Amino acid sequence: MSLRLVISESGIALSTRAEEQIRADIVEAGRRLYARGFVASNDGNISARLDGQRLVTTPKSVSKGFMTPDMMVVVDYEGKKLSGDRDPSSELPMHLEIYRNRPDVNGVVHAHPPTATGFAVAGIPLTRAVLAEVVTTLGSIPIAEYGTPSTAELPEAVRKYIKAHDGMLLANHGAVTCGNSVMSAHFKMETIEHFAKISLVARLLGREHLLSREEVGRLQGLRGTYGIAAPAPICADPEPGALTPDPSCQTVFAPEAPGERLVPDTSVASGSPAIGNDGEIRLTYAQLTELIDEAVKQIVKT
């Protein structure tokens, strides 16, 4: 594999692989997104930094499962096409926004993984401290506000969180991830969907044990020990997390519990309806039928 060193406009040395390898990585990431069902039809888009003046991106209106390296489009950081037979994705401005805000990022992946997108549709961020590996790597996964696809609203929404997060949900749309390479961004997309599936199962089972604030502090320390690069620190919030967490921090909901590593989630009480940290109200089947019975009785009375 050939290597070359490119100095970006900002003077940051970027050790990039040859353009051919980067194109091959985009094709491979597209195949994996398609094979895992993270995209349907022509959904999704992928890009990678080539150097300080150019990036390469997927073209519009192609299935990400069946791309070839020659399909890619080379553009500058204003989005102007420099080479390629096709036009770039209409979501290119979102990618450009991420590169502008994150000089450390060399690859961006956008997809619609079904479970994570379900959370994005429900307005439930993946910000609970429940899986040590997710806390250590991604920290938290907030939801960027809804923006009409292909408009300036989407980059605007992403800008709020991208400085502190390598991955986020896009309200009523999907998810976007970034990393120091295309495959790194792709694997973060896999992590988000995997985390969303596990969170969904735990919620279906009716309870979650949360990592304590103290345990989250230990995980923060592991980042240093293992050299895990993250754009911002993890901030453990002892209160049920706000829907709009501090965008300069990777805010996770982790209750204070000195001496404990795991804490039962008290917001999911078994005997009464519970209001989750994201504002959702949880009812058991018995509670729901009781409520309906009561309502019917009231209607019959009047």
Chain positions contacting Zn ion, by CB under 5 A? 174
Spatial contact of 143 and 194, defined as CB atoms under 8 Å apart: no
What is the rounded CA–CA span in Å between residue 108 and residue 291?
Answer: 47
Nearer residue to Zn ion within complex by CB, 17 or 32: 32
**Cα→Cα distances 246→8, 172, 301, Å:** 31, 21, 49
Minimum separation from the CB atom of position 247 to Zn ion (A): 21
Nearer residue to Zn ion within complex by CB, 14 or 171: 171
Minimum separation from the CB atom of position 117 to Zn ion (A): 9
Spatial contact of 99 and 107, defined as CB atoms under 8 Å apart: no
Q: How many CB atoms lie within 10 A of CB 118?
A: 14
Minimum separation from the CB atom of position 111 to Zn ion (A): 7
Minimum separation from the CB atom of position 169 to Zn ion (A): 12
Closest CA to 211 of 141, 131, 271, 148: 131
Nearer residue to Zn ion within complex by CB, 95 or 102: 95
> One of 9, 20, 91, 214 is an active-site residue; which one?
91
What is the rounded CA–CA span in Å between residue 18 and residue 159?
Answer: 29
Residue nearest Zn ion by beta-carbon distance: 174
SS3 content of the chain, % helix, strand, coil (to 5): 35, 20, 40
Nearer residue to Zn ion within complex by CB, 174 or 276: 174
Active site residue 91: yes
Q: How many CB atoms lie within 10 A of CB 217?
A: 13
Question: Mind telling me the catalytic residues?
Answer: 91
